[in-house]
């Protein structure tokens, strides 16, 4: 994906910097989070500091939006503090996919403990809900792409940050690049820059950039940012 040139924004589009939250202990332990409200660990806070420092040196951020789950919200607060002491605006529609009975389980054990939920979770059909109140991929897609479109419509000519989750970012990628190969993984605090134009056109300027983590480290597995979501 091409690097952003950071040329002057115009009124034709909103530039939205979509960031995955920092690492949690459950990411490191390969536990499935979904809507469960797990906090950042020490590594996650360091990652958030580094991405905040990076964004503070790039073109001005006008607003910061976030999922209301703590791992995203605290990441967003750290970014907002470094980028002009902005307020963080929360939106429940930016939450991770609800993973039903899979939530709280170690991924490798899920197929034995909750076989029906695991079967639904592993299905390649996009309309399958996960037992225990979980969402289908279609419901996740509709929810989070609508949320980003609302943000884009409000902020034409501006650069805003959205802090969210791996499953959400995968859906946003599919909205922008519907014919591309599926995304393998979304790393913690990776930077992904979308432009939302009039006429519902989305493009991606920067994808999966974690160069700010050279000295901090990141989970190479991308757990929670791949099909495991989190």
Q: How many CB atoms lie within 10 A of CB 134?
A: 22
**Strand pairing of 159-164 and 88-90?**
unpaired
Q: How many CB atoms lie within 10 A of CB 56?
A: 14
Task: Please compute, for residue 83, the number of CA atoms within 13 A of its CA located in the half-sphere on the CB side.
Answer: 31
21 is in an annotated binding site: yes
Average pLDDT rounded to a whole number, residues 100-109: 96
CA distance 53 to 209: 14
Q: Write down the pLDDT at residue 3.
A: 42
Quick: pLDDT tens for 113-124.
999 999 999 999
21 is catalytic: yes
Q: Write down the pLDDT at residue 182.
A: 82
Q: Which residue in 15, 35, 96, 212 is the catalytic one?
A: 96
212 is in an annotated binding site: no
40: left (phi over 0), alpha (psi -120 to 50) or beta: beta
Which of residues 131 and 1 earns the better pLDDT score? 131
Quick: pLDDT tens for 214-227.
866 665 656 665 66
pLDDT > 80? residue 8: no
Q: Which residue in 3, 11, 15, 21 is the catalytic one?
A: 21
Q: Write down the pLDDT at residue 215.
A: 67
Choose among 46, 47, 50, 96: nearest CA to 70: 96
CA distance 72 to 184: 21
225 is in an annotated binding site: no
Quick: pLDDT tens for 122-136.
999 999 999 999 999
pLDDT > 50? residue 5: no
Q: What class, spelled out in words, does domain 13-220 have in CATH?
A: alpha beta
133 is in an annotated binding site: no
25 is in an annotated binding site: yes
Quick: pLDDT tens for 173-211.
999 999 888 887 899 999 999 999 988 899 999 999 999
Q: Write down the pLDDT at residue 113.
A: 97
The three-state secondary structure class of 202 is strand
CA distance 93 to 141: 10
CA distance 186 to 209: 10
Average pLDDT rounded to a whole number, residues 156-166: 98
227 is in an annotated binding site: no
Q: Write down the pLDDT at residue 4.
A: 45
Choose among 25, 30, 31, 29: nearest CA to 44: 25
Q: Write down the pLDDT at residue 199.
A: 85
Average pLDDT rounded to a whole number, residues 146-162: 98
96 is catalytic: yes
Look up the pTM and report it.
0.92
Quick: pLDDT tens for 48-76.
999 999 999 999 999 999 999 999 999 99
Q: Write down the pLDDT at residue 108.
A: 93
């Amino acid at each position: 994906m091409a690097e952003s040139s950071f040329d002057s924004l115009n009124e034709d589009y909103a530039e939205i910097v979509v960031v995955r939250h920092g690492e949690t202990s459950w990411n490191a332990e390969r536990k499935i989070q979904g809507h469960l409200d797990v906090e950042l660990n020490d590594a996650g806070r360091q990652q958030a500091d580094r991405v905040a420092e990076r964004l503070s040196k790039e073109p001005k951020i006008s607003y910061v939006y976030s999922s209301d789950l703590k791992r995203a919200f605290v990441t967003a607060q750290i970014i907002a503090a470094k980028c002009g002491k902005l307020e963080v605006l929360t939106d429940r529609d930016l939450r991770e996919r609800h993973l039903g009975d899979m939530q709280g389980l170690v991924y490798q054990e899920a197929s034995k403990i909750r076989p029906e939920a695991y079967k639904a979770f592993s299905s390649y059909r996009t309309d399958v809900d996960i037992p225990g109140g979980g969402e289908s991929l279609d419901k996740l897609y509709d929810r989070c792409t609508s949320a980003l479109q609302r943000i884009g419509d409000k902020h034409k000519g501006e650069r805003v940050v959205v802090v969210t989750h791996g499953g959400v970012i995968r859906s946003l990628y599919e909205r922008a690049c519907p014919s591309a190969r599926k995304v393998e993984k979304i790393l913690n605090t990776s930077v992904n820059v979308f432009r939302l134009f009039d006429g519902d056109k989305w493009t991606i300027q920067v994808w999966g950039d974690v160069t700010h983590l050279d000295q901090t480290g990141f989970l190479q597995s991308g757990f929670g940012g791949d099909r495991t979501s989190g």
